[in-house]
A and B are shown apart, each in its own frame.
Chain A
Amino acid sequence: MKPSRILAFSRKEVLEIVRDPVTIWLSLFMPVVMLFLFGYALSFDVENAPLVVVDHDKSVASRSLTAQFLNTPYFRLAGTPEDERMAEHALMEGRARAVLSIPPGFGRRLAQGRDAPVEFLVDGTYSSTAAIVSAYGRAILYAFPSGSLQLPVQPEVRVWYNPQLRSRDFLLPGLFAVIMMTFPPLLTALAVAREKELGTIAQIFASPLTKAEFIVAKLLPYAAIAAGQLAIVLAAGFLWFKLPMHGSLALLAALGLVYVVTTVSIGLLISTLVRTQIAAMLITMIATLMPSFLFSGFIYPVFTMPAFFQGYAARIPTMYFVNISRGIVMRDAGLGELWLNAVVLLVYGIVVLTLATLLFKKRIA
């Protein structure tokens, strides 16, 4: 490896990037767009779920129960139909997510100290939302009429690390990992494929530049851009979305650097296998973006997956940085807890980079 050749090549790469405003824009702007898109759009929190109430009792007690539901931020009134048939219709049409049905005599039975059954129907189409809505509903019903749960056992449940259970606080750290797996490999794969498409690679073939030098020289500038992307995305997360940071930013940045070198290497590996930019784009999307969404724990926890898919997820580096990012941001985890994830990322990067070097051919065929 000759540093002068690597340096010359990296310098050329930087000049090319700097002189192409479209590339700069895309590379710096797109990650932020994705962060904002998902930061705002994606949420598992349930607020203002439309509720219809069928009140056959029309007593003080039934009105009080209805008020208990509507006094929370979780439900809003979406109608008071006459009977259950109409309520069911509202569910079918999607105008309501839940139905509270209070039978006649509810107030009377309650006053007599007898069992007072009410019906709480939940639309189970979106299963995770339904689970949350039914849990909220159950909690309100248990607490009625005194306003506090009076059970023989008084559980004191506390949620650690994300006490308000804000899903954005949980999603953003994972999103950092997904974004860094999406754009850096894409940019890198396109850059090499572009040289192949335009024929400028012929000049590289017929030169003393070695395969390893080529790979390293391509890695350096794109890893630097990726580091910049990481910085922008972190800044947007902490400053704009006010994501609470419980751990060490320095550690997050350091491990983030290891991660982006790995993701850029994946882009390089893909670029050695394709000839055109369009193929580079498609394969990068399929190989990085899709599995990152599904199998990284970003949205769906890996530990609830069947064993086979847990094994599959373990082959995608995104999961390790999701662990690292969430660990540091939400739990103030340190290297002591995260070292295994960090080591896997490091080894992964080295293996991919070695593979890219071996598979890159200084030949047309």
Chain B
Amino acid sequence: MIEVRGLGRRYGARTVLQDIAFDVAPGEAFGVVGPDGAGKSTLLQMLAGILRPSFGTGRVLGEDLRKHPDRVQARIGYMSQGFSLYDRLSVAENIAFAAAIRDVPRQAYAARKAKLVAMAGLERFEGRREGALSGGMRKKLALCANLIHEPPLLILDEPSLGVDPLSRRELWRILEAARGEGRSIVFATSYMDEADASDRVLLLRDGRPLALGTPTELRASARRRVYRVATAEPDALEGQLAASSAVLSFQKHSRTDYRVQTAEASPPAFAAATAIEAAEPDMEDVFTVASAEPGAGAAPALAQRRSGPADIVVAAEAVTQRFGAFVAVDHVDLEIRAGEVLGLLGPNGAGKTTLIRILCGLLAPSEGTARVAGFDVARQSEQVRSRIGYVSQKFSLFPDLTAGGNLGFFARAYGVPPSAMAERIAWASERAGFPIAEDALVRSLSSATRQRLALACAIVHRPKVLFLDEPTSGVDPLSRFRFWRLIAAVAAEGVAVIVSTHYLEEATYCDRLGMMMDGRMIGLGPLEALQRELGLADARVEDVFLGLIARERSKAVAA
């Protein structure tokens, strides 16, 4: 199916991908895993014949990628990132169009279409415009459009990015069926469970291959680097984990149970641990271990959390936001105390960003009231805005200024007095784990560095509430872990932090979770409480989410 040797791509003087070599057999599911900017899309575009390789050779479906890219284009199915169908055409029209430009014979068309539409659960929506579908449905439709000509090879660029867990499962059911028919699938993903389910995985980082093999082989390579640590004193253990240079990263699984990735292949020792045992690595561990540069480790230290009941700094009552007939946020109640980290979880389009914008005073709610830091977000948005920090999805930094220039700008914009400027900037940089000496232009910084700079800019005026809108999107697991440690450090100083994410596994870093779907808050509370509510002790976050969706649906049916 695919045979590439030394494949790479250069844009001008910048090499974005190099030394890629692998084969894909018929019926194989091949996962390409890596953070944003690792070169996943570039690789997939080259395999699809729509990007000319700068180095190396490649054959796809027996055709040379350099000599006959048109023959490759004509025979594959390729789904780019985002949405590639026509939003003004209906579901049926989009499929018909895809079939017509790919020469699907008229006799075969009706049967294939019926099968695909049924599998995607889109029968009831055939007449609906693509633009009016949910993100998950649009992705399933795009997949149907790419399967209508029954291609021997499917190339999918992050097919399930930002899709709700239910749609994600359906998407993979369709893909499994295609694989069962002998089609090969090459897909990029940042979801480690998807990588785990594929036949072979290529780990990419900074345009270079980090590892290649079956999930079993890769997991074996990370053995003796992953441990389960049980404890009776979680606070003490967390402090020791954070202080240890042997620890790369750790996750809290329950109050007494931690998972730890180590820098060396030997078991660590912690005074506060009651038991330490080697654990079977999963793909997330593999990636964390593989992407650790030598000498890394040592997460930033955590300030001692202040004890005693904290003030309520965010209080929302029945907040609703309508855009025309569309209800983006539907009667959400929320209370957050100082020093608390609330994770807003949900797929794209669930209403996370809209809720955050309301609480930031950027958008007046259509109904309901919300008070942030003691002020009404609708009527006193000026006062609200000067007491909060906000990091948007795209990090609103100025790419043509230096890091220092950005920090200075935000400090002045938030009214930090000139006398306190230097001290505040130093403090914010240290808290955000950002080297103050950085005088490079922001455009030249890596996305992980930019993320920390954005955090520094958002806390330079010592806000009471910090909002982070999908700050970890597209970042590798280790950088994500480190960023969450920074968030915890900010919270420990008494700042209420609200973070939205579509990585469900990040729930373990939050004190409380707000699970959102279709504008509604379908679950709110600590993870353990949600697990108890559903009777799903020790369940994975994804299963908790699916359980909440099911509960919501049965409520709707009952009503």
Contacts and interface: CB of A to CB of B under 8 A. Distances in A.
A198 B85 CA distance: 9
Interface stretch (A124-132, A283-291, A296-304, A357-365): A357-365
Nearest to B74: A208
Interface string A9-45: 1011001100110000000000000000000000000
Contacts of B78: 202-203, 205-206
B84 A208 contact: no
Contacts of A5: 100-101, 103
Interface residues of B, number: 36
A204 B73 CA distance: 9
Interface stretch (B44-52, B208-216, B398-406): B44-52
Contacts of A4: 100, 103
A205 B88 contact: no
Contacts of B51: 363-365
B51, B73, B76: residue with the most chain A Cβ atoms closer than 10 Å: B73
B145 interface: yes
Contacts of A203: 78, 80, 84-85, 98, 145
A209 interface: yes
A242 interface: no
A15 B52 contact: no
B88 A199 contact: no
A15 B11 contact: no
Contacts of A210: 70
B110 to A, nearest CB: 16
B77 interface: yes
Interface in B145-185: 145, 155
A362 B52 CA distance: 11
Nearest to B129: A19
Contacts of B102: 207-208
Nearest to A202: B80
B82 A199 contact: yes
A181 B171 CA distance: 47
A206 B77 contact: yes
A217 to B, nearest CB: 9
Nearest to B96: A8
A205 B50 contact: yes
Interface in A185-221: 198-200, 202-210
Interface in A202-252: 202-210
Interface of A: 2, 4-5, 7-9, 11-12, 15-16, 19-20, 198-200, 202-210, 362-365
6 A-B pairs closest in CB distance = A8-B100, A206-B78, A208-B74, A202-B80, A205-B50, A19-B88
Interface of B: 11, 45, 48-52, 69-70, 73-78, 80-89, 93, 96-98, 100-103, 129, 145, 155
Given A9-B97, A208-B73, 10 more contacts: A15-B88, A198-B83, A199-B82, A205-B50, A206-B76, A206-B77, A207-B73, A207-B102, A208-B102, A364-B45
